[in-house]
Amino acid sequence: MKTTTTGTRERIVRATSRLLQRQGYEGTGIKQISREAEATLGSVYHFFPGGKQELAAAAIRHGDLEFAGMLREGLGSSEDPAEAVTACTRLLAVALRESGWQDGCPITSTALETVGRAPVIEQAVVEAFANWRAVVEEKLLAAGLGADDSRELAATVISALEGAELAAQVARSEEPLHVTGKHLARLIGTYR
Amino acid sequence: MKTTTTGTRERIVRATSRLLQRQGYEGTGIKQISREAEATLGSVYHFFPGGKQELAAAAIRHGDLEFAGMLREGLGSSEDPAEAVTACTRLLAVALRESGWQDGCPITSTALETVGRAPVIEQAVVEAFANWRAVVEEKLLAAGLGADDSRELAATVISALEGAELAAQVARSEEPLHVTGKHLARLIGTYR
């Protein structure tokens, strides 16, 4: 029984995350989430009494973990931090292309649509960005870069990945991600 | 009569642009656009018989010109291309802060919400990104950088500005833009 209950909540969160990623916050309704998750409306409200804002915050935490996992996979592929960051852009490019250019950043659209209007969502977004920066910062520190440089470079890496993913999605091309990967590697190389 | 007519269309486009920027595509209705523009629904449909998609495409072209103007202002402030790009991040940071962290990129949210679902909007988005890259590319070429380097760096500059503006908006802080400006200047410096 416990397993089934966990499974339902998880299905609801995954469905919400995918819908928000593909059609944004305003375009996603709780009924559609319930259908896609194959869960009753009653169970959606049972797990998320706070409704759509609470659902969106949980979905953003899910996207946060997903993206952080991808970053760790890419960064773990090489000891050299410049090569490791480039590996992240390759992973992002493949995932984006394989989704038919649909699955970009899991949180950007929701974040922009709810700026200043949904504190519980904004908090989850702020934490996601901070987590991603921390994953990159840790890699740069481990590679011997200074503390300030690692912190600042990590911020630029995450910003550049976000922007390049958007550009790649819009252009339906991997190129913006590959070009940004090359430049981030070059930038990181100047700090070694 | 002609002036009034032009004025009404312009008000509608500006209102649409601002609403899309602040609340996204799905969250913006034609009735709200008509109210904000102080135009009748009839005149909205007179100028935009294609409805919301046509309105959004016109608003994106408006945002395209607005952002390109800001880029030209920043890039024109210094002969040195590295300093000039940093000036763009400063202009973006000030504009974002002065809008109470509301007015980020005028097209990102709409672009993401309509990926694969509204060709007329997608086309306007693709053209906007291409225009912005061209403005930066022209500056880099004029500063003596090679053709391939200028084209690729311009793509990375626009991606990084987009991502840093998102990060700044979410964090309600100018810092992500200033840090990205510093790093872009450093990166461009390695090509001179």
Which residues of chain A are within 8 Å of residue B153 when distances are taken between CB atoms? Answer: 183
Q: What is the pLDDT of residue B46?
A: 97
Distance CA B122, CA A18 (A): 21
Looking at the complex, does the CB of residue A192 fall below 8 Å from at least one CB of chain B?
Answer: no
Phi (first) and psi of residue B166, to 5 degrees: -60, -45
Asked if A115 lies within 8 A of B183 by C-beta distance, the reply is no
Complex ipTM tops 0.90? yes
Under DSSP, the state recorded for B105 is: -
Looking at the complex, does the CB of residue B138 fall below 8 Å from at least one CB of chain A?
Answer: no
Asked if A176 lies within 8 A of B162 by C-beta distance, the reply is no
Helix B51-75 and helix B119-142: axis angle, to 10°? 10
Under DSSP, the state recorded for A106 is: S
Average pLDDT over residues B97-101: 94
Asked if A155 lies within 8 A of B180 by C-beta distance, the reply is yes
Length of chain A: 192
Q: Is the Cβ–Cβ distance between B76 and B49 less than 8 Å?
A: no
Q: Looking at CA atoms only, how far is residue A61 from chain B in angstroms? A: 15
A144 compared with A2, residue with greater pLDDT: A144
At residue B192 the predicted structure's pLDDT band, cuts being 50, 70 and 90, is confident
Return the minimum-mean-pLDDT range out of A154-168, B58-72, B113-127: B113-127
Asked if A160 lies within 8 A of B158 by C-beta distance, the reply is no
Q: Which residue of B has its CA nearest to A151?
A: B179
| Mutation target among A159, A187, A192 for the B interface, most CBs of B within 10 A | A159
Summarised one tens digit per residue, pLDDT across range B130-144 is 999 999 999 999 999
Q: Is the Cβ–Cβ distance between A46 and A14 less than 8 Å?
A: no
Backbone conformation region of residue B38, classed left if phi is above 0, alpha if psi is from -120 to 50, else beta: left
Q: Quick check: B42 pLDDT over 50?
A: yes
Asked if B116 lies within 8 A of A129 by C-beta distance, the reply is no
Asked if A166 lies within 8 A of B162 by C-beta distance, the reply is yes
Looking at the complex, does the CB of residue B175 fall below 8 Å from at least one CB of chain A?
Answer: yes
Q: Which residue, A30, A59, A35, is CA-closest to A45?
A: A30
pTM: predicted TM-score of the whole model, two decimal places = 0.93
CB-defined contacts A:B, below 8 A: 154
Q: What is the homologous superfamily of the domain B57-190 according to CATH? A: Tetracycline Repressor, domain 2 (1.10.357.10)
Q: Quick check: A3 pLDDT over 60?
A: no
Q: Which residue, A59, A48, A24, is CA-closest to A40?
A: A48
Instruction: Show me where the domains of chain A are located.
Output: 57-190
Asked if B24 lies within 8 A of A156 by C-beta distance, the reply is no
Looking at the complex, does the CB of residue B126 fall below 8 Å from at least one CB of chain A?
Answer: yes
Q: What is the residue type of A103?
A: D
Q: What percent of chain A shows pLDDT beyond 90?
A: 86
Return the minimum-mean-pLDDT range out of A76-85, A148-157, A161-170, B99-108: B99-108
Distance CA B97, CA B168 (A): 9
A102 compared with A74, residue with greater pLDDT: A74
